[in-house]
């Protein structure tokens, strides 16, 4: 949900102000996704982390650094073609979600990663000069996933 909020704000900024503003919103706003997620979980009365001693806790910290370390790839793609910013970020974000399948034990993260990566590739290669499609698509995909993921998580709890 937190990621979706940031992406919607970015899509709004890119649509009604400029692509640069939208990019700035998602890049700066991305630094607030984790604390915003923690706040949302606390408000819902849900746990904010894996149990102490869980073997996947270390993976969570490592995964947190994957996306920022891949931003130079997004920058390079954007310097080559400005309309590749959102598709490139979609691909990087999708790759970032892959390890979540193992850390949270939810194959649904694999589906999310596949959708983001696949749509990012298609938009970058087949839908030229339409960068906003990636921003809005990602915002919607993340919003849908927030509800589907919540439902799946609650179903596992019984």
Percent of the chain topping pLDDT 90: 60
Instruction: Give the pTM.
Output: 0.89
pLDDT over 90 (residue 113) = yes
- List, for residues 51-107, the tens digit of each pLDDT value: 787 777 777 778 888 889 999 999 999 999 999 999 999 999 999 999 888 877 789
Residue of 94, 98, 97, 142 whose CA lies nearest to 119: 94
Cα of 29 vs its chain's centroid, Å? 11
91 vs 46, more confident: 91
Q: Residue 59: what pLDDT?
A: 78
Mean pLDDT of the chain: 89
H/E stretch holding 79: helix 57-80
pLDDT over 80 (residue 151) = yes
Is residue 57 helix, strand or coil? helix
Of 7-21, 33-47, 85-99, the range with the lowest mean pLDDT is 33-47
The CA-atom distances, in angstroms, between 67 and each of 16, 30, 37, 139, 155 are 26, 10, 16, 17, 29
H/E stretch holding 81: none
Q: Residue 154: what pLDDT?
A: 67
Q: How long a stretch of residues is the chain?
A: 158
Report the alpha-carbon distance of residue 28 to residue 20 in Å, rounded.
Answer: 12
Is residue 67 helix, strand or coil? helix
Cα of 127 vs its chain's centroid, Å? 21
Cα of 43 vs its chain's centroid, Å? 21
154 vs 125, more confident: 125
């Amino acid at each position: 949900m937190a990621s979706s909020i940031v992406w919607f704000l970015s899509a709004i900024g890119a649509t009604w102000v400029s692509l640069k503003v939208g990019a700035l919103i998602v890049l700066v706003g991305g630094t607030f996704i984790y604390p915003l997620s923690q706040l949302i979980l606390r408000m819902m009365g849900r746990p904010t982390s894996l149990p102490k001693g869980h073997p996947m806790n270390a993976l969570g910290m490592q995964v947190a650094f994957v996306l920022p370390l891949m931003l130079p790839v997004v920058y390079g793609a954007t310097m080559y073609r400005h309309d590749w910013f959102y598709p490139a970020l979609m691909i990087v974000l999708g790759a970032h979600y892959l390890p979540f399948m193992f850390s949270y034990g939810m194959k649904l993260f694999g589906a999310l990663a596949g959708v983001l990566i696949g749509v990012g590739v298609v938009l970058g290669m087949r839908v030229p000069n339409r960068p906003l499609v990636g921003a809005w698509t990602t915002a919607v995909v993340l919003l849908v996933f927030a509800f589907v993921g919540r439902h799946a998580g609650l179903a596992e709890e019984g």
